[in-house]
């Protein structure tokens, strides 16, 4: 018998998924939100996103190939995803050079410094974003008025976000148009404008089983509960700022979130409450990025303490 047989250990069949499939699906789920950003902010949104995605891919390729001397796997879509998420967390008026710095920090410090895909502790896109927010507070809070002048970029007419207005006391919660909050005619980062677009992405991710409900839902629950206790309108809190975007796309990042359902719920509840705490009592009008980064830091601890329930740990000896 001359036939050469393959011999390997079981299992001999494998589910169809791959890392690339997961990552590209998340990229796909971001498209509705990106479409809204294009619609409301026009040219600026396009420039920021393209620059961010291309730079993230470039930095990942460059660092892997020329600094670490390994084979880059940019086709797995994770660098593109970081770029995409970073862009959706930036204002549409942000100058190109700032976006490039953000992309470098996200990939270089947020991801590759820890060892690359799967090893980072903090969500790379948020590392990039928070770095920019602390370093360039003016540029990072230059919010283009939605749907006004779509061909403007850094020179666009700007205004305040809902959360800024609330924080400064310029408007009352009762004056806020919930319709606009839901469909997107609000100032903010690219991805913060339309709740519906993000929810479409959320449903897509749930249906394709890329993520589970645990983290987003517990973030919503945590934020809602604390809003009630603090006497503010939870609907406005959920729909404004980066809470939805963060809950669906950033907090659910596989690498930086806990490994068990229970752990995910704890993580989500805390992100929700920390966000509201920062919004109500902190110096910043928006707290989602910080809340997620803080909980990213606690994820190893959560993984250590919250273990799945083992089969047979609570078995009963038969009495008969």
Q: What is the binding site for other proteins (CB under 8 A)?
A: 1, 3, 5-15, 17-19, 21-22, 73, 76, 78, 116-119, 212, 254-255, 257-261, 307-318, 320
- Find the shortest distance in angstroms from Cβ 39 to other proteins: 32
CA distances from 54 to 15, 39, 61, 260 (A): 31, 21, 11, 34
- Find the shortest distance in angstroms from Cβ 12 to other proteins: 4
Nearer to other proteins by Cβ, of 69 and 315: the residue is 315
- Find the shortest distance in angstroms from Cβ 205 to other proteins: 12
- The structure tokens 């469909």 sit at 183
- Find the shortest distance in angstroms from Cβ 260 to other proteins: 6
Nearer to other proteins by Cβ, of 138 and 316: the residue is 316
Q: What is the CA radius of gyration of the chain?
A: 21
- Find the shortest distance in angstroms from Cβ 31 to other proteins: 21
Nearer to other proteins by Cβ, of 6 and 174: the residue is 6
What are the start-end ranges of the H helices in the chain?
Answer: 19-29, 31-41, 43-62, 78-88, 96-104, 124-135, 137-140, 162-168, 178-183, 195-207, 214-230, 234-239, 243-245, 261-281, 288-305
For residue 66 the two structure tokens come to 């020329």
Nearer to other proteins by Cβ, of 134 and 313: the residue is 313
CA distances from 299 to 123, 214, 231, 256 (A): 11, 15, 30, 7
Q: Are 117 and 253 in contact (CB under 8 A)?
A: no
- Find the shortest distance in angstroms from Cβ 114 to other proteins: 12
Nearer to other proteins by Cβ, of 69 and 312: the residue is 312
- Find the shortest distance in angstroms from Cβ 224 to other proteins: 25
Residue 143's DSSP bridge partners are 159
**Using CA atoms, how far apart are residues 90 and 83, in angstroms rounded to an integer?**
11
- Give me the phi and psi of 114, to 5 degrees please: -85, -10
145: nearest Cα among 134, 157, 137: 157
Q: Are 269 and 221 in contact (CB under 8 A)?
A: yes
Nearer to other proteins by Cβ, of 117 and 133: the residue is 117
Nearer to other proteins by Cβ, of 121 and 230: the residue is 121
For residue 158, the SS3 value is strand
Nearer to other proteins by Cβ, of 254 and 284: the residue is 254
**Using CA atoms, how far apart are residues 47 and 37, in angstroms rounded to an integer?**
11
- Find the shortest distance in angstroms from Cβ 71 to other proteins: 11
């Amino acid at each position: 018998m001359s036939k050469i047989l393959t011999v390997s250990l079981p299992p001999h069949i494998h589910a169809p998924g791959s890392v690339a499939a997961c990552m590209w699906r998340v990229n796909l789920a971001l498209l509705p939100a990106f479409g809204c950003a294009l619609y409301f902010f026009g040219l600026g949104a396009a420039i920021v996103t393209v620059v961010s995605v291309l730079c993230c891919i470039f930095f990942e390729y460059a660092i892997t190939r020329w600094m670490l001397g390994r084979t880059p796997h940019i086709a797995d879509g994770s660098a593109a995803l970081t770029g995409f998420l970073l862009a959706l967390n930036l204002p549409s008026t942000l100058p190109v050079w700032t976006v490039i710095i953000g992309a470098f920090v996200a990939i270089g410090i947020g991801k590759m410094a820890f060892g690359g895909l799967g090893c980072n502790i903090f969500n790379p896109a948020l590392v990039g974003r928070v770095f920019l927010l602390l370093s360039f507070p003016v540029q990072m809070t230059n919010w283009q008025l939605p749907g006004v002048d779509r061909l403007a970029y850094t020179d666009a007419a700007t205004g305040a976000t809902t959360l800024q207005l609330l924080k400064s006391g310029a408007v009352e919660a009762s004056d806020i148009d919930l319709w606009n909050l839901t469909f997107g005619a609000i100032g903010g980062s690219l991805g913060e404008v339309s709740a519906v677009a993000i929810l479409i992405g959320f449903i897509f991710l749930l249906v394709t089983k890329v993520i589970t409900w645990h983290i987003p839902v517990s973030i919503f629950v945590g934020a809602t509960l604390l809003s009630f206790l603090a006497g503010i309108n939870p609907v406005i809190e959920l729909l404004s700022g980066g809470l939805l975007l963060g809950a669906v796309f950033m907090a659910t990042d596989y690498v930086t979130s806990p490994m068990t359902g229970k752990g995910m719920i704890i993580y989500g509840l805390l992100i929700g409450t920390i966000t509201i705490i920062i919004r109500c009592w902190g110096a910043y009008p928006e707290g989602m990025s910080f809340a997620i980064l803080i909980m990213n830091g606690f994820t190893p601890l959560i993984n250590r303490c919250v273990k799945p329930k083992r089969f047979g740990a609570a078995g009963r000896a038969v009495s008969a």
